Amino acid sequence: MDKFTKLTGVAAPMPLVNIDTDMIIPKAFLKTIKRSGLGVNLFDEMRYDRAGNEIPDFVLNKPQYRNAEILVAGDNFGCGSSREHAPWALKDFGIKAIVSTSFADIFFNNCFKNGILPIVLPQEDVDLLMGDAEKGQNARMTVDLENQLITTSDGVEIAFEVDPFRKHCLLNGLDDIGLTLEKKPAIDEFEKKAAQERPWV
């Protein structure tokens, strides 16, 4: 998993509330177990018409937001079914941080496990960031995980909270496997001792 330290990029405004995981990645695309290749189908039913043509008014189809790395979203982002494909699709598209007033618990947890930083802020702060994101590609926002600060294109700083353990994992690029491998010396020592004490196992 890539380390997340400091990100400066374009933020896309998505003020819709209750964006569920089926909207993020429709069930038709859940057949794969690969984490790559899902970005093209992110928000598929909102991005494309029935003939597969892009819908120009959808935010991520607009030229200024095609390379967005941050989403500023409405309340209760990631609700619905507990599909890990949702953060996979967001990450594959290039989204590395999402700001909202609240997230569904399972989606929130899955984001951290896949290298995406979900940030919960009060409505007034989200409104401010939404307004900044609406300025387009010239309004680049900075998300500083180490100092837990978001800086708008105008230099306004907004502090955010993050669980210390999850912060450690993102800063060091540690998913569940990476966390286990951090304990490899202790695991090796345990196995060596176990083999000596119980050679018949």
Q: Is residue 200 part of a domain?
A: no
Q: Is residue 198 part of a domain?
A: no
Burial of 19: CB neighbours in 10 Å, binned 0-12, 13-18, 19+: buried
Looking at the whole model, is its pTM more than 0.85? yes
Percentage of the chain beyond pLDDT 70 is 98
* pLDDT of 126: 98
Q: Is residue 95 part of a domain?
A: yes
pLDDT tens, 61-116? Answer: 999 999 999 999 999 999 998 889 999 999 999 999 999 999 999 999 999 999 99
* pLDDT of 182: 67
Total domains, the chain: 1
pLDDT tens, 121-153? Answer: 999 999 999 999 999 888 899 999 999 999 999
Burial of 15: CB neighbours in 10 Å, binned 0-12, 13-18, 19+: middle
Q: Is residue 183 part of a domain?
A: no
Q: Is residue 23 part of a domain?
A: yes
DSSP secondary structure letter of residue 27: G
Q: 166 lies in which domain range?
A: 6-173
Q: Is the pLDDT of residue 176 over 90?
A: no
User: Which distant-in-sequence residues (6+ apart) come within 8 Å of 82 by Cβ?
Assistant: 21, 106, 107, 110
CATH number of the domain to which 132 belongs: 3.20.19.10
